[in-house]
Structure formats: structure tokens, C-alpha cells
Amino acid sequence: MSFALVSRRSALTFGRRAVRFESTTSEKATEAAKKTAAKASEGLSRVSSAAGPVLAKYAKTLQSTLGRVGGRTGKLIAFAERQTPFVIYYSKVAAELGRIVFRGQSMTPPSVSTFKAYFQNFVKSVQSGSFFSNAGASLQNVRNISRTQVAAAGVLLAECLGFFTIGEMIGRMKLIGYHGETHAAAH
């Protein structure tokens, strides 16, 4: 690059002001998130101040009672206590993901009347026994599957397995194996 070209480019950059353009939607989203978080923490503090001492007393009593249990039951209780934070965390993640998908797809839950109608039909079919007789009809349908349907199901299974395998390769950043020594560990 010649000196004249460099000096011309530097003159252009010194004369300009650095301007950063921000999105107003991100500012609005940040403000809305802060307001929502403030409202949520306010509601949580109200609930915890009202129910906190009572719940803490019962939780302490329950924990001391369960702590005295020994043997297999004690091991099972200890295992459940260790797993509880993970279950709570991942259930919150799943709920948030479901909320995002619902909003993104403009989905709405069914109305109460629709849910009642389907639930009542289900209960009636179980009580009358037609639910279980339909299971026998479903078994008969399985017996009557054609070769083309089996082939289509096989192709679909192969596609799912392929996508899973490719996802595993991308996630592990290697082609084979979960465990094993790295190249650096061998030296």
C-alpha cells in the first residue's frame, strides 16, 4: 500500500465522528423486563413475608423428620433431595421455552369449555369400556399395515437417527466416542 493511499484513508477516518446506532426496541424491551422483574419481586416479597415463617417452620420440621429415616428409604430420600434443584431448574427452563414457543407461534391454550368437552368424552369412553375396545381396533390396524407404510416409517426413522447423530457430532466436536483420551493426554 502506498503512503499517499494510507494518508488519504487516515484523513477520511479522522474527519468522521464515530456514531453508534442503537435499536429503540432493545431499550424498550430492557425497560419492560425491568418493570416486570420489579413487579414480580414485589409480589414475591409480599407472598414470602406473609407465608415465610409458616412455610419455614413446616419445611424445617419435614426436613428433620426425613433426616431421621435410614436404610434404603433414607438413601432414596437423600437422592430425591439432591435431584430436586435440578428438576426445579429444568422445569422452569421448559416452562419458559414453552412460553416462548407459544408466543412465537401465536398459539393459545384451549378454552375451558373445549377442555371440559374433550375430558368428559374421554371419561365416558373409559367408563363405558369403549376406550379399551378401541385399543383392540388399533391393534388390528397395526396388523394391516402395508409394505409402503413400513418403508416410509423406516425412512423416517433413518432420518431421525441421522439428525440425532449429526447433532451429537456437532455437540461433542468429534466423530466418535463420548469418552477417551485427548491427543494432549497421550503425550
Q: What is the pLDDT of residue 74?
A: 77
Q: What is the pLDDT of residue 142?
A: 83
Residue 54 lies in a domain: yes
pLDDT in tens, 165-179: 888 888 888 777 666
Residue 102 lies in a domain: yes
Judgement on whether residues 39 and 62 belong to the same structural domain of the protein: yes
Residue 85 lies in a domain: yes
| pTM for this model (two decimals) | 0.31
Total domains in the chain come to 3
Query: Which of the listed residues 57, 91, 108 is the one where a domain comes to its end?
Result: 108
Question: pLDDT-based confidence at 154, cuts 50/70/90?
Answer: very high
Residue 2 lies in a domain: no
Question: pLDDT-based confidence at 131, cuts 50/70/90?
Answer: confident
Report the distance separating Cα 46 and Cα 41, nearest Å: 9
Structural domain boundaries, residue 86: 69-108
Please report where in the chains the cell 428433620 appears, as a residue.
64
Please report where in the chains the cell 413475608 appears, as a residue.
49
pLDDT in tens, 77-113: 778 888 888 888 989 999 999 889 888 888 888 899 9
Q: In whole angstroms, how far apart are CA 76 and each of 38, 64, 70, 90, 181?
A: 39, 16, 9, 21, 34
pLDDT in tens, 16-44: 555 555 556 667 766 766 676 666 666 66
Residue 127 lies in a domain: no
